[in-house]
Amino acid sequence: MKLSIVVPCYNEEAVISRFDDTIRTVLAPLAVEYELCYVDDGSADGTLHRLRTLAQQHPRTTRYVSFSRNFGKEPAMLAGLREATGDAVIIMDADLQHPPELIEKMLDLYQLGHDQVIAKRSREGDKRLRSALSRLYYRAVNTWVDVELTDGVGDFRLLSRTAVDALISLPEYNRFSKGLFSWIGFDTVTFDYRNAAREAGETKWRFGSLINYGIDGLISFNCRPLRLAIYAGLSLASLAAVYTLWIIGAALAGGVTAPGYVTLVAITVGLGGVQMVMLGLIGEYIGRIYYESKRRPHFLVKETDGTARTRPPAGA
Ligand code: UDP
Ligand code: MG
C-alpha cells in the first residue's frame, strides 16, 4: 500500500526540515511506500525555499504545491488531499505537535478496515480557562449542529482513499473541515494522545480567530440558528404583548401615570441589540451564499514541483 502525508505549512521555515527528517525516520522501518505532500500556504519566510530543497533531496517521495498568497489552512488541506495519490492519507501539522510515532498505530487501525482513524488530543497542559471555554462551546454546538463535533478532535487523522475522495467531492467554498470529516461519515475509530508543545515557530491562532472559528462551526452546517432567532422573536413578542396588556389594565384601573423612562430606554436598547444580532446572523448566511455564488477557486497556485498534479498558471 501507499501512504500520503499531507502537510499544510504557513511560515514554518524554522521547523519544516526537522519535521521532514523526523517523518522519514519514522516511516523508513514501516513497510509502506510513502509520499510527503507539502502545501506552502503563501508563506512569507523561507518555507518555499526549504520545500524546493527537500524536493531535490527526495524527488520520488516529496511533492509540494505553493499558493500565490496565504489562503488559510482549510484550502491548504484541500490542495494536499487533491495532490495525494496514496491508498491512505494522514493530515499532519508541520510543527511536530502531532506525534509522528502515532503513524504506525494509525496504519494498524487502517489495516483493520477503518476509513477514518482519528487521533484525539487530551487537553492536559492547556490553560484551564481555554479548556473550560472549549468544553462549553462544544456542548452548545452539539445541541445546535447536526454533525457531531468533538473537543480535542482536529485535523490529525488518517483517511482512507474512499474518505478522501468523498471529501474532495464536496465543492463548497467555505470549508469547515472539522464538520466535513464528521459529515462524510464512514467507519470511524478514535484514540487518545497527549499533545506535544510546538517545536519551533509560533501558532497562527489569535483569540479573535478562535472566536470566528467558533461562529463558523455554529453556522456552517444548517439553518438552526435562524430558527433560534424565530423562537427568540416569538418569545419577546409574547412578553411584549403581556406587558402591554398589563400597562393598559393599570391605566384603566388607576388612570394614566407617566413614569417609565428607564423601562423605555431598557426595552429600546435591548430590542435593538437583539435585532442587530439576528440581522448579523441572517447576514452571515447571505454572505455565505455570496461567496458560494462567485464560484471562485479555493486557492491559486504559483509553483509546484515537477510531479505535482496541480499545475501552476502558464508562464509561472
Ligand atoms: N497553517 C496553514 N495556513 C494558515 C495557518 C496555519 O497552512 O493560514 C498550518 C500551519 O503551518 C501548521 C498548521 O496549519 O502546519 C497548524 O497551525 P498552528 O500550529 O499555527 O495551529 P495550532 O497548532 O496552534 O492550532
Ligand atoms: Mg500547532
pLDDT tens digit sequence for 135-152:
888 887 777 777 777 777
User: Residues 6 or more apart from 216 whose CB is under 8 A from it?
Assistant: 174, 176
Report which bound ligand comes closest to the CA of 9: 1
Alpha helices by DSSP H, the chain: 16-27, 47-57, 73-83, 102-111, 128-144, 161-168, 177-184, 207-219, 224-254, 261-294
pLDDT (average), residues 9-23: 91
Residue 263 C-alpha to ligand 1 middle, in angstroms?
Answer: 49
Output 123 or 32, whichever has higher pLDDT. Answer: 32
Q: Which residues line ligand 1 (CB under 6 A)?
A: 8-10, 12, 41, 70, 72-73, 76, 93-95, 97, 203-205
* 312 confidence band (pLDDT: 50, 70, 90): low
Distance (angstroms) between ligand 1 centre and the Cα of 13 equals 13
Q: Which atom of ligand 1 is nearest to the CA of 10?
A: 11
The atom number, within ligand 1, closest to the CA of 203 reads 20
Mean pLDDT across the chain, nearest whole number? Answer: 85
Residues in Cβ contact with 162 at an 8 Å cutoff, skipping those fewer than 6 apart: 115, 186
Summarize the confidence of residues 43-53 as an average pLDDT: 92
Q: Give the number of residues written for the chain.
A: 316
Neighbours of 113 (CB within 10 A): 9
Strands 188-194 and 153-160: unpaired
Residue that wins the pLDDT comparison between 92 and 271 = 92
pLDDT of residue 218: 76
8 A C-beta contact, residue 9 and residue 73: no
Q: Which atom of ligand 1 is nearest to the CA of 93?
A: 15
pLDDT at 231 over 90: no
Closest Cα to residue 180, out of 206, 154, 210? 154
Cα(206) to centroid of ligand 1, in Å?
11
Overall average pLDDT of the 288-292 stretch: 87
Supply the ipTM of this predicted assembly: 0.94
pLDDT tens digits for range 249-267: 888 888 877 777 778 887 8
Grid cell digits, residue 134 = 472549549
**Residues 172-185: pLDDT tens digits?**
888 888 888 988 98
- Nearest-10 Cα torsion for 168, 310, 51, 4: 40
**Helix H or strand E encompassing 87:** none
Protein residue whose Cα sits closest to atom 23 of ligand 1: 203
Q: Is 80 left (phi over 0), alpha (psi -120 to 50) or beta?
A: alpha
Q: For ligand 1, atom 12, which residue shows the shortest CA distance?
A: 93
**Least confidently predicted of 6-15, 43-52, 63-72, 217-226:** 217-226
Return the higher-pLDDT residue of 157 and 209: 157
Residue 92 has a pLDDT of 93
CA of residue 10 to ligand 1 center, whole Å: 6
Could you say which DSSP state residue 68 is in? Answer: S
Q: How many CB atoms lie within 10 A of CB 133?
A: 14
Residues 98 and 94: their CA atoms lie apart, in Å, by 8
Rounded Cα distance between 287 and 307, Å, is: 37
pTM attached to this predicted model: 0.79
For residue 76, give the ligand 1 atom closest to its CA: 7
CA 107/CA 110 separation, integer angstroms: 5
